[in-house]
Amino acid sequence: MGIVESVPVALEVRAVDKIFKGPAGPLPALAGVDLAVPAGEFATLIGPSGCGKSTLFNIIAGLDEPDGGSIALGGRADAARLGRVAYMPQKDLLLPWRTVLDNVILPLEVRGVPRERARREALDLFPEFGLAGFERAYPAALSGGMRQRAAFLRTTLARGGLLLLDEPFGALDALTRARLQEWLLGVWERHRRTTLFITHDVDEAIFLADRIYVMSPRPGRVALARRVPLPRPRDPAVTTAPEFIRLKAELLAVLRGEGPGEAAGVEPDGLDPVAEGLRPRNTPSGMNPPTRVGTR
């Protein structure tokens, strides 16, 4: 079964392959990745370090091309993806010589919005992003969490229905990270922008998401797809719910290479480009990551 007609799908990745030229010959990074994100949903992508998550984001954003397969944005599978996706790369890439305000207006300036108008538009958002009072500061004066919020504010000002966030909280301490997860959920619940979010953290993947994709080690493919059966709005207490604990155990088993189990792949909503990606091909063995996989 393909995509259910009534579900508008913001992103559909089908059978995407990517092979890099490595020093010792071809390096297959992605092998038949299938996933989809319906409009208005929050999806997380989890997988070990080096499995090709950032590579997939670069391809979705149009910064790189796949060697096989296709990407459709808003139902259109044409090649022109650049500028149609709001992408926050793994490194925050704030420009040290620009103030926080002038960093966040970059996507507006690129679009040709005059600088003063762009500044006015962005200033309204500083309180929601916890950056009020730091508009004229330089990035060096911000804490790690503030830098991430500034990079996130900049990303939300970029055009495009789809938000791609590559491990935005990866480098933060546990407390800051937990606070930012709650804050992000609040922002997301107010705006409901379609999001695909990379993480190494299983709890974070479940807490934030409507839908989770687990990738295998390189060459990456989707080893498991699951909907998150938890109501919204969510608060941290949800991490002790039986459904949360069950899902966590299932994800960890797949991340440890214990296989997806017989029922894996059947997406209850029929949105199953994923089902194909669940074939246990290239299934690795002997992989044994901790809860936070591939911590660097």
Ligand X SMILES: Nc1ncnc2c1ncn2[C@@H]1O[C@H](COP(=O)(O)OP(=O)(O)OP(=O)(O)O)[C@@H](O)[C@H]1O
Q: By the criterion CB under 5 A, which residues form the site for Mg ion?
A: 53-54, 90
Binding footprint of ligand X, residue count (CB under 6 A) = 15
In DSSP notation, 215-256 reads EPSSSB-EEEEEE----SS--GGGGGSHHHHHHHHHHHHHHT
- If the CB atoms of residues 46 and 106 are measured against ligand X, the closer one turns out to be 46
Distance CA(8)–CA(242), nearest Å, equals 31
Q: Does 54 bind ligand X (CB under 6 A)?
A: yes
Of residues 74-133, those binding ligand X (CB under 6 A)? 90
Give the interface segment with ligand X, choosing from 44-52, 68-76, 225-233, 269-277 (CB under 6 A). Answer: 44-52
Distance CA(60)–CA(118), nearest Å, equals 27
Distance CA(137)–CA(168), nearest Å, equals 21
Q: Is 85 helix (H, G, I), strand (E, B) or coil?
A: strand
Of the candidates 206, 272, 209, the residue with the CA atom closest to the CA atom of residue 243:
206
Residue 4 interacting partner from Mg ion, ligand X, none (CB closer than 5 to 8 Å by kind) = none
Of the candidates 85, 90, 63, the residue with the CA atom closest to the CA atom of residue 72:
85
Q: Are the C-beta atoms of residues 223 and 215 closer than 8 Å to each other?
A: yes
Cα angle 65-198-184, degrees, rounded to a multiple of 5: 130
By beta carbon distance, the residue nearest Mg ion is: 54
Give the interface segment with ligand X, choosing from 50-58, 122-130, 155-163, 188-196 (CB under 6 A). Answer: 50-58
- Residue of the chain from 32, 52, 139, 168 that contacts ligand X (CB under 6 A): 52
197 to 236: interface string for ligand X, x by CB under 6 A: ---------------------x------------------
Least distance between Mg ion and beta carbon 107 (Å): 22
Least distance between Mg ion and beta carbon 217 (Å): 13
Residues near ligand X (CB under 6 A) are 20, 27, 29, 47, 49-55, 90, 218, 294, 296
